[in-house]
Amino acid sequence: MSEWYAKLKASVDKNEPQLRSVSRQIFERPEVKSEEVFASKLLADELEKAGFDVELGVAGLDTAIRAVHPAASDGPTIAILGEYDALPDVGHACGHNLIAAGGLGAALAVGAIKDQLPGKLLFFGTPAEEGGGGKVFMIDAGLFEGVDAALMFHPSNYTMVGRGSLAITEVKIEFHGKPAHASGCPEKGINALDAVIQTFNGINALREHILDGARIHGIIRDGGVKPNIVPEYTSAEFYVRAQENDYRDELLEKLRNCAQGAALATGARMEFTEVPVPYKAMKPNRVIGERFLKHIIDNGVPHMPEKTNAMGSTDMGDVTQVVPGIHAYVKIAEEDVAGHSREFTDASGSERGQVAMLAAAKALAMTAVDLLTSPEMVAQAWEEFRNA
């Protein structure tokens, strides 16, 4: 395999100016979920130039990409994934510009030698990871049918392959009260803001009685109009997360009960809406992950003991529920730099981030070739998947 690895590394090195440019362009032009018109077109164009058969706008998503390398034969089907949506206000504070460029680099490297390899190579551009569930729509559209492994990396303040993710559902809670003069005749009003506050109080009392690692957190979107008007309408948004899909659903009902209790106490009318799309928990595949880990270390990224706590949520969790996959984390910042922070935005646009992205592109490409050339490894990955 050493000859293949050398060719893959050489390909990424050759494409380094191009990959750096893609990462920088996406970083400097952040687009939030489902609005990634520039980023998706940029990636689609690069893949087309490399000879891939590219569809832009699949699964009913204008900015989703399905690219297939034309040199296909019997053997495993391997998909390399890229994300490219940004966050509101803080831009690429999750490093998706690096994910996009790294996934592209891996696909181009494997594509350069694909005519000498068995199997089928795919690249999926997956939009709207930040709350829009692009991968979920792509799964539902059948794009992952026949795929044997799905590979991606994610920038982090830590390098690890074994951490999973939390199942998540987003909820919008609205309360409808009755306006009145807040000083002259408050008794004639029904205070919708009190209902929101009571909901938060109920959740805070609940925290003592939920499993470690589960999360219920939210914000108030609408809190009223003016202090001298009893708030007629208020709304809040919550994320409910847990390590198991079923427990996430149990916590949803507890949240609903908190809101219903608040409505009963205040006299407000409550509306409880689960916002599409919920994400499932991740099943990391150790067979694939350990091979990626070996390659990322060989490409100069140090590894630390696995740290599997403090998990977030991602629609890659849904992918790993249907095919073996990895969502490997690669360090681009120090441990005290939090994801979704302005400091992490800076890291995503830094030289350190670019160097880590190039190493990840090589490791992803090497892992993909391992899978394409080893039916035994693919079978082991599927066996682990089925037994997880």
Does residue 61 surpass a pLDDT of 80?
yes
Tell me the pLDDT band of 276, cut-offs 50, 70 and 90. Answer: confident
Q: What is the DSSP string of 251-265?
A: HHHHHHHHHHHHHHH
Give strand pairing partners of 123: 67, 80
Instruction: Tell me the H-state helices in 72-189.
Output: 96-112, 134-140
Tokens standing for 138?
A: 């792509």
Region for residue 95 given its phi and psi (left: phi exceeds 0; alpha: psi -120 to 50; beta: otherwise): left
Q: Give, to the nearest 10 degrees, the angle between helix 351-372 and helix 286-298.
A: 130
Residues 109, 160 contacting (CB under 8 angstroms): no
Does residue 308 surpass a pLDDT of 70?
no
Residues 62, 137 contacting (CB under 8 angstroms): no
Residue ranges of domains in the chain? 2-165+282-387, 167-279
**Full-model pTM:** 0.91
Q: What DSSP character marks residue 300?
A: T
Q: Is the dihedral of CA 329, 334, 335, 339 positive or negative?
A: negative
Average pLDDT, stretch 334-358?
Answer: 97
Identify the pLDDT of residue 83. Answer: 98
Pick the residue with more confidence: 379 or 164?
379
Identify the pLDDT of residue 311. Answer: 87
Q: Which of 75, 77, 65, 173 is nearest to 123 (CA)?
A: 65
Does residue 258 surpass a pLDDT of 70?
yes
Q: What is the DSSP string of 11-46?
A: HHHHTHHHHHHHHHHHHHS--BTT--HHHHHHHHHH
Q: Is the dihedral of CA 39, 45, 49, 53 positive or negative?
A: positive
- Which residues are CB-neighbours of 278 under 8 A, at least 6 positions away? 133, 167, 168, 169, 170, 248
Does residue 302 surpass a pLDDT of 90?
no
Amino acid 122 reads L
Identify the pLDDT of residue 222. Answer: 98
Identify the pLDDT of residue 27. Answer: 98
Q: Give per-residue pLDDT as tens, 237-247.
A: 999 999 999 99
Average pLDDT, stretch 327-344?
Answer: 96
Task: Give the angle subtended at the CA of 191 by the CAs of 198 and 224, to the nearest 5°.
Answer: 95
Does residue 303 surpass a pLDDT of 90?
no
Q: Half-sphere exposure of residue 374, counting CA atoms within 13 Å on the CB side?
A: 18
Residue with tokens 């050398």: 6
CA 198/CA 205 separation, integer angstroms: 11
Residues 370, 119 contacting (CB under 8 angstroms): no
User: Could you tell me what percent of the chain has a pLDDT over 70?
Assistant: 99
What CATH number labels 2-165+282-387?
3.40.630.10
Identify the pLDDT of residue 388. Answer: 87
Identify the pLDDT of residue 238. Answer: 98
Q: Which of 247, 248, 245, 272 is nearest to 258 (CA)?
A: 272
Query: What mean pLDDT value characterizes the chain?
Result: 96
Q: Half-sphere exposure of residue 218, counting CA atoms within 13 Å on the CB side?
A: 27
Region for residue 166 given its phi and psi (left: phi exceeds 0; alpha: psi -120 to 50; beta: otherwise): beta
Does residue 309 surpass a pLDDT of 80?
no
Q: Give per-residue pLDDT as tens, 207-232.
A: 999 999 999 999 999 999 999 999 99
Q: Give per-residue pLDDT as tens, 77-103.
A: 999 999 999 999 999 999 999 999 999
Cis peptide before 277 (omega within 30 of 0): yes
Identify the pLDDT of residue 95. Answer: 98
Residue with tokens 């935005």: 345
Q: What DSSP character marks residue 160?
A: B
What CATH number labels 167-279?
3.30.70.360
Q: Give per-residue pLDDT as tens, 358-373.
A: 999 999 999 999 999 9
- Which residues are CB-neighbours of 94 under 8 A, at least 6 positions away? 86, 87, 130, 154, 155, 339, 340, 344, 348
Q: What ranges make up the beta strands (E) of the chain?
A: 53-56, 65-68, 77-82, 120-125, 149-156, 167-176, 215-222, 233-242, 269-279, 325-331
Classified as helix, coil or strand, 276 is strand
